[in-house]
Amino acid sequence: MVDFLIALMALGFLAIVTARMPPMRPAEILHGAVRVTDGDTLELDGLRIRLQGIDAPELAQACNNDDVAYPCGLQARAALAQLVDGRPVSCESYGHDRYGRTLARCMAGTTELNRAMVKNGWALAYGDYDVQEAQARKARRGLWRGDFTPPEEWRRAHDRLDAAPHQPLSAFWDWLRDLGRLWIGNT
pLDDT at 146: 96
Annotate 120-169 with DSSP letters as a single string.
TTSSEESSS-HHHHHHHHHHT-GGGGSB---HHHHHHHTT-TT-----HH
Tell me the per-residue pLDDT of 93-116, one tens digit each, with 9 for 90 and over: 989 988 899 999 999 999 999 999
Residue 182 lies inside a defined structural domain of this protein? no
Domain containing residue 28: 24-150
Tell me the pLDDT tens digit for each residue of 115-150.
Answer: 999 999 999 999 889 999 999 999 999 999 999 999
pLDDT for position 179: 54
pTM: 0.73
Q: What is the mean pLDDT of residues 15-24?
A: 57
Residue 18 lies in a domain: no
User: Pick the catalytic residue: 77, 101, 105, 155?
Assistant: 101
- Flag whether 167 is in a domain: no
Catalytic residue check, 58: yes
With respect to residue 174, please indicate whether it lies within any of the assigned structural domains.
Answer: no
Percentage above 70 pLDDT, the chain: 75
Of the residues 58, 115, 133, 155, only one is catalytic, namely: 58
Q: Give the pLDDT band of residue 74 (cuts 50, 70, 90).
A: very high
Structural domains counted in the chain = 1
Output the pLDDT for position 176. Answer: 56
- Residue 166 belongs to a domain: no
The answer to whether residue 171 sits within a structural domain is: no
Residue 31 included in any domain: yes
CATH of the domain at 129: 2.40.50.90
129 in a domain, yes or no? yes
Catalytic entry in 50, 77, 115, 155: 50
The answer to whether residue 50 is catalytic is: yes
| 181 has catalytic annotation | no
Question: What pLDDT band is residue 164 in, cutting at 50, 70 and 90?
Answer: very low
